[in-house]
Amino acid sequence: MKKTYTYLALGDSYTIGEGVEEAGRYPNQTVNLLQGKGIDMNLSQIIAKTGWTTDELEKGIESAGIEGNTYDLVTLLIGVNNQYRGRDVENYKSEFRLLLQDAINFAKGKADHVVVLSIPDWGVTPFATERNTDQEKVAREINIYNQAKKEIAQEMGTHHIDITERYREIGALPEMVVEDKLHPSALVYQEWASLLAKIIEEKMAFK
């Protein structure tokens, strides 16, 4: 009998897919891609909310009542709201490390079954342009956050996907944002799902 695998997605607006249909979210699109490749992946739960920072995600996980549960795959994308609110990067590092350890624990202690996604640069969006946002400042800060995130992910043995550079190329295009002109459209999430599915297919022993 074919095994069904479980997937827990942790994050913020980019994971819950603010402004897109449920099917358009990157975790949902990833599952569809994997099922098309013969990997029976089930999206067990998304714990994510628009606006969440690292500490708020931690509280969200506690409130979800999933302590002791385990999953075959866990993804983590968090940090844009820490940057947006001007939080200190050292604070981010310590809180992100705790979240990543949570993710590894949920993945049955298998760090190589956890995938971290980098933070998109919201400064390139029409939302930011219309508000005369200091795009260079946002880019600089996002880079610092992403460097910290990547180093921690590598140190803890998880996979890491850089979606930021590509997002900077496409994030300003009208078809790449939803109605609020800030959050990505399903087309952007399609690219993330493709990268994620490739890592899962090639690096994890799911059949």
The residue with greater pLDDT, 23 or 206, is: 23
Residue 102 scores a pLDDT above 90? yes
Q: What is the mean pLDDT of the chain?
A: 97
pLDDT at 52: 98
Under CATH, which architecture does the 5-203 domain have?
3-Layer(aba) Sandwich (3.40)
pLDDT at 1 over 70: no
85 near 45, Cβ under 8 Å? no
Per-domain boundaries in the chain = 5-203
Taking only the tens place, the pLDDT of each residue in 34-87 is: 999 999 999 999 999 999 999 999 999 999 999 999 999 999 999 999 999 999
Phi, psi of 8 (to 5 degrees): -115, 125
pLDDT value of position 2: 75
Label residues 1-18 b or e (16+ Cβ within 10 Å = b).
eeeebbbbbbbbbbbbbb
Give me the mean pLDDT over the 101-109 stretch.
98
Q: What is the pLDDT of residues 128-182, one digit of tens each?
A: 999 999 999 999 999 999 999 999 999 999 999 999 999 999 999 999 999 999 9
